[in-house]
Structure 1
Amino acid sequence: MMTARGRLRVLLGAAHGVGTTCAMLEEGRRLRDEGRDVVIAAAQAHSRSATDPGAWGLDVVPETAGRLDTDAVLTRRPDVALVDELAAADPPGSRHLRRWEDVEDLLAGGVDVISTLTIDRVESLSEVAWAITGVPPGGTVPDAVLRAADAVEVVDLAPAALQARLAAGLIGDPRSGGRAFQLDSLIALRELTLMWVADDADQELRRYRDRHGAARSRQIRERVVVALGDEGSAPSLLRRAARLVSGSAGAGPIGVHVSGQRNRPLEDPPALRRLAERLGGSLHEVVGDDVPGAIIDFARSVDATQIVVATAGRGPVGRVLRPGVGERVARRADGPDVHLVTGSGEPGGRLPRPAGMLGGSLRGAPGGALGGVRRLAGFALAVVAGPLLTWFLLADPAQDSTAVVALAFQLLVVVVALVGGIWPALCSAVGLGVTLDYFFTAPLRTFSISSISHLSTVVLCVAIAALVSLIVDRAARQTRAARRSAAESQLLQSVSGRVLGGQDAVRALVDQIRESFGMTRARLIRDGEEVASSSAALAGTASGRARAGQWRRSSLPVGEGARLELDGPALDASGQKLLPVITAQLATALDRADLSRAAASGKVRTALLSALGHDLRRPLASATAAVTGLRSAAGELTGTDRAELLETAAESLSALSGLIEDLVDVRRLETGALAVTMAAVDVEDVIGDALDEAGAGPDQVSLDVEPDLPVLGADAALLRRVLVNLLTNALRHSPGGVELSARRAGGTRVVGEGEGEDVGDVVELSVADHGPGIDPGRRAEIFMPFQRLGDDDNTTGLGLGLALSKGFVEGMGGTLEPEDTPGGGLTMVVSLYRWPGEDG
């Protein structure tokens, strides 16, 4: 019998200390009291008795070598397993790299899991959180794993309350260093958390509607579409729409312009796009002949709640006889609210191109070049005006000239042709010809014609009317083709601009292709993996322009090894001719992206190989020379010579070992697998060891160590390496000497356990040089691997020292910050905390 998959609940917090672990343990105890079998599979005490798993009276499955023992949990087969820190890293040699993969095994085994996570560990948001807090991202959880959870619940705490917890010693996490617990950082992280949850809820609602075909109820988040066209000032309309959403949780205004037979191109689309982006929105262009329909379809595709459209302010009669786009949108829109805004400023701003009906417009309108409304108007004019003109001519007894009547009828046919095109005009010409024969050609009131001249008049009248109708229809077709070509040219220009401009051009082009051709989904796939995708929300009913039977999936090649999959309405020959041109641009953008990545990778590889070449050459040459000397002159060497050669070989091999160790540690830092062994460390002892290892004598380093410093909580080996790196860098840039100082600072931090938690002093270790210093705007770069700011050649190592030092210090719960040295130079300040239980 197949085991049912377990359910995953994730307790999501904005920052460490909001109470996710306590909430998990409390929920576990509640479920146990309800009779369910609950075990603690992994939980961190976080240096507090309140989060000590043993204090909650729950069964514990012990961890094995620091990792979640999935085999033991599955053998125990509880109803619910509590797993803290979903993004935690498993130790080397484990079955998986990350704890969330262990959780997947538990879920597959039918065990329900309750876990915890902070927003900075969500993969797509880790770099955003890093920018907010200054804390590098550690292990992360893929967004797909989190979105696939059966429930994501926010454990929230006001930022001020969280700071109060920190001050009271109730948070014992290393991340309390840096900017992580500054008020602005906590507010930003809280906002990020709530936005992620709101977005997840919005996507879940869309998925439900798509699965069940549910009608679209009122949206929680306001989405305002502003239609830009011939009426109204486009910038004014965008700003008006931005004011409508300024007080809601929605995004900025979504501008849309319909390019087609009856619309002029937008004026200065790049400026309008920049304005829309500054207002927090976006700009799109749709190609279509039915302007109101295209606007409404686009609004539905983005789940708009409101449509803002300009109106020319016509009077009541004008709105009835000649309604504008705004009036027609208001009549036909059955979902979003429509705001009619009186046009102000000069007409013109119009929009760039993406969303929806390029394919529809390229399919064209059936039955001629003119639209259905104009054809109906032409037929109506022929039906109404023909009898009226006949009555008027019959009412004049003096009117007996067949030629004059024929000219009047020809004029009416020409007017009908101008209004409705060829078919209304031909019908009018035939009808008026018959009327001319019956009422105005002798013998009257019969369909017989007494003379050739009268017959010629009737035939010429019909022929001229038909000829004029054909000319008018042909002109309309040419106009339509010209405007469609202009719209296509504008689209290609926009696509070319995206290829040349900025980052992520591939994703932007995929979005634009989907929107421009009215597709519901577009996916770029290469070597079986999705490179970029774009999807539109489907309306509850099919678009009036794209019936269900016309929708299909198509696939087009994009360069070598890639293809573009499109789901949506079928395109006619014009659309199929244009699409390959755009996919060629997409292939170019894909190649540019590959070249950019290769160039960036090449720069790092060149820097690495250059530095490796030098750093490996020196110790290898020394070791080789020493070993060669021992072998070639073994019988001639004195004991002293032999000892010196052995010492040279040992030092060289030690340097090689240090180089390899640095490279391995960089990898460990990147994967979050660096092991940190915290213990009590005497400041003076570690400073002495660092000075010895760096080979710095009293004439090079000036010491200033404050007496009676507390014992630090640190990893002695890592701290020594940090100080050696800092001293080596400082001496290289300041040959005249450097200052190394250690003093007690004023900050405090939770480090203790039990009921009476200790609050420890901060100790700052500073290494100051008097070299050229670093530009404040580039200080963040010095902590990146393979960076050697201020070095003029490739003979100064791999540029890993400061990157490793920062990672080591933060792994010990401290901070490493650069400061200016008074009088010029750079000072590196290491801040660490007192070991728990020490009086200092």
Structure 2
Amino acid sequence: MSDGRPDPDLLLQRVRDEEIRARSGKLTIFFGAAPGVGKTYAMLEAARAEHGQGRDVVIGIAETHGRYDTAALLLGLEILPRRKIAHRTVNLEEFDLDLALSRRPGLLLVDELAHTNAEGSRHAKRWQDVVELLDAGIDVFTTLNVQHVESLKDVVAQITHVLVKETVPDSILDRADDIRVIDLPADELLERMREGKVYVPDQARRAVSNFFRKGNLIALRELALRRTAERVDAQMQHYKREHGIERVWPVGERVLVCVSPSPTSARLVRGARRLASSLHADWIAVYVETPASLRQSTEDNRRVAANLQLAQQLGAEAVTISGSNAAEAAMSYAHQRNVTRVVIGKPTHARWRDRLKASFLDEIVRHSGDVDVYVMSGDESAMRRAREEAQPARAPRGMAGYVMGAGVAVVSTLISWAFFRREQLPDTVMVYLLGIVLVSMRYGYGPSLLAAVASVVCFDFFFIPPYLTFAVGDLSHLVTFAVMFLVAGIISRLTTRVREQAQGAGERERRTASLYAMSRELATAKTLEHVVSIGQRHIGDVFGARVVVLRAGSLAPIVREGASLELDDKEKGVASWVWQNGQMAGAGTDTLPSARGVYLPLRASRGKLGVLGALATTPESLIEPQRRQHLEAFGAQLAAAMERAELAEEAQHARLQIESEQLRNALLSSVSHDLRTPLAVVTGAASTLLERNIAEGTRRELTETILHESDRLNRLVRNLLDVTRVEAGALRVKKEWQPLEEVVGAALHRVDAALQGREIITDLPDDLPLVPLDSVLIEQVLVNLLENAAKYTPAHASISIAARAQHKPENQVQVTVADRGPGIAPGEEERIFEKFYRAQEGRGGAGLGLTICRGIVAAHGGRIWAENRSTDEGGAMFHFTLPIEGEPPNLELQP
């Protein structure tokens, strides 16, 4: 039982719908039953009223048809210039969509919504121009007659015997915020016709005798009012849902229409739209791709794509599914989607075919269960034309199969006569069956049946007495003939079905394998350019097309390689429209169909990432529904990989920024303290020296303090500069063959003051070889290590320096500086060489000395590391190695 509280999901969806509607422009349609009822006049009057209230009103296009009273309403309103298009020898004027978008008025008037644009326009239909205007946030007033509504096209043709070619999808009417019916009784409209207020006299007389007959006008008026009533009812239902009013239907209706390559499917789609509209139900257009669909002609594939596209324009959900049996797959999908009514077409084939195989209608009814099945008639004339057009293309292939079926029967007869004669009839029957199986494997069901009939006839004529006649002496042979024909038919049917299923499975496997191959390579791609390169290559190979991926915003190619698609200005314009509107366009679509390639937006979770363009060697191949879905799947996979690559780049950039920020903070923290302390001491000592009455001993002590702190400050600045040189790769090592003892002595001399009172133990063997090194830099390493040992060890603790030559595994010298301090905390053996890192027992310093040591040693080709001494001895040991490369100079002692 409901507690009266609103559904939070519905509330969230309502908020989202309101946000989308708030960003879009508002559409007002002035709807009429026929030309001449006054739609344009009423639209202009409403526009003038809006203009009088201070609204920015602009006329994009208004057709007055020479009517004075209508033209008078244009006075005082801004009118956009029309765009001129040269078409053959005629100059046409069309609505300028780009000018309207740049002008961006508050309200734009666009007359005749169902108008077909001239060739070369951005959109094929004016209603598509209006959709782009609405998406740009511009309010639109427009006009429409009931005969131009797509779902009513067939009904209007039955009433008026006039087939209307310019139509508008019902989804446009559903999107309208306001539909204003401009109604006029049939007698008044006919009077306006006779007075010349609609057409000129000659045209008026022809119109009254044809389309504008009174009965037609009454029927069209009823259609217009009914269609408007449906729209009003939909608005009422929407209002009830928004305000939590009780629902009218406890269970919603859902309609499914089965789409096929048949020319009559278009009529079924329109009929399903009318049924769904009357039921206020969602509806689905389903095409089942069976193994036999792989043998369809290009024209059949084009019809399927057109029928599914028509269903989408009428507001349906277009779906393509796969299955070995079309009826079973369609009904299985219907049950999954909770469909209540299924719409199919009447059978058009001969009745005798139902004896051999159940019709699609029979199978649908058998699998329907509790789903209602509606059967509608199609356009027989369209079906006949399609058969006549398809017959020449299919005849050669069919004739070859039937000729081969008859030929196999002759060959089987010759083989049986040569090997078995008339004595081994069972073996002869097997030969005939083998021939029938071979025909069914190669040519299908029809030729295999012909082979079966021909085989039975040959078997009777040559092998059954009386010979060389079709008479049968023993009636028991009739059973043999029947069984032989029946077995041949069953084997032929099963073989054909297995072959079709194998072809279908192979095609699906190829699609899956192509997607898997690309996804496997994309998983290892690191950069955006690598991802795009992989995508272009795989899509180009699968579809036989030249492919380009355009960068978001600039629409410049991300990667140029091989046979990538080069875009001219026209193709760039198509790609730009796809980027701005987020919809597919180009060859084979309703938008900009004159383009050479097809373009689709690449979308991911964070929005649009770019545009994918493909120009196939045979553009018709991309029109097929399964190929189009395959391309969209490739695009979705490529977009996901592109987003992953961009996220990885952003993560890397963010990591570098974090590291830079941490380095900056550590630098400021360390340097600010180490600079402030000596500067404060120097400043205090200098200010004291300015006083006159200072004892000589105190003056000397202050001067020494200033000198000591200045030296400390100098070392800090020098360390910072050294670290900068090391990290920038500007450290230049000038190696010379040097005795290591001299470098150690120089380093001890430099730190003599810091080591006062300590015992220094040196262990430098006499047989130490000369070492190629930069004496200044290695001396700095020893100085830093000795100062570090003095800083982190108690006073009077000993410090030792040792060196050993090593010849295995490498020829090098290892130097060790050891102390008797507290040692290194576990886990800090590597961290103490990081910049600005200080041990917990540290006593000041910027934490740069060991970092500089590592950089200098690495520049020499060696390595440096630290470890603790044994537990009994205590303290830490720092080791570094210097490689010995080359031969030392031969030094001869002078006498």
Fold shared, TM-score > 0.5 on shorter chain: no
The one of the two structures with greater contact order (alpha-carbon pairs below 8 A, sep at least 6) is 1
Q: TM-score, with normalisation over the residues of structure 2? A: 0.34
Answer with 1 or 2: which has the greater Rg.
2
Q: TM-score, with normalisation over the residues of structure 1? A: 0.36
